[in-house]
Amino acid sequence: MFSKFYRPLCALLIASSLTGCAPFMGGAVAPRLTEVQRPLYSVNAWKLEGRIAVKAGNEGWNANLFWEHEGGQDRLRIYGPFSQGAVSIIVQSDLVYINEGNGVVTRSSDPDDLLKKKLGFAVPLRSLRYWVLGLPAPDIDYQAKVDAEGGFTGFEQQAWVLGFENFEKVANFIMPQKITILGNVVRLKLVVDEFVIKNCQGGLCP
């Protein structure tokens, strides 16, 4: 069950459906697994803009998403048309801040637990910051999925199943433009409209 905080947001965001936007003109071939893992782990500063659809049980909503990652901090903004119903999330190490607007800010040292209380389901944020790049979270077991040609199409990790489509070239990296994340009671779909790589480890991107 979504909290009271998210019910008005759902109503405001229903107009920003993923299917109602312009199609993505990509088409890069799914990369080999090693091509995805090795170079992309060096990216430590990036930002993306896109659209997200979430379905949890009988509840569902669509929204625009802005996400900026730099060093140990992630800043997310989820919003509808004209920034209606905007919610800001800042994750710093083991702290998360959720700004619901009108001066309502919640802080917790357990990011996943706070999101579960606010959204009605838990998302592993520490892993999600890698998943949106098409990467398994490091140091956690995973099972890769490949197509008939050996291209990397997704993986299973932490009881979540990820699928990647419409690979595109960003700088010198091959990245997924459509991402589906399936959990026990939740389905998330992310369409990336723009991805900007700001920095890699050592300041140099391949």
pLDDT tens by residue, 119-131: 666 788 889 999 9
For residues 43 and 39, what is the distance between their CA atoms, to the nearest angstrom? 8
Sequence-ordered list of residues with C-beta below 8 angstroms from that of 196, at least 6 positions apart, any chain: 46, 47, 48, 170
**Tokens at residue 163, please?**
């699928």
How remote is the C-alpha of 124 from its chain's centroid? 11
User: How does pLDDT run across 138-182, given as a tens digit for each residue?
Assistant: 999 999 999 888 888 999 999 999 999 999 988 888 899 999 999
Q: Report the distance separating Cα 61 and Cα 46, nearest Å.
A: 25
Mean pLDDT of 107-125: 78
Residue 204 is predicted with a pLDDT of 61
CB burial string 74-94: b at 16+ within 10 A, e below: bbbbbbbeeeebbbbbbbeee
| More confidently predicted of 19 and 59 | 59
Sequence letter at residue 7: R
Other Cβ atoms closer than 10 A to 13: 26
- Domains and their CATH numbers in the chain: 6-197 (2.50.20.10)
Average pLDDT along the chain: 81
Strand partners, 164: 179
C-alpha 204: how far from chain center: 24
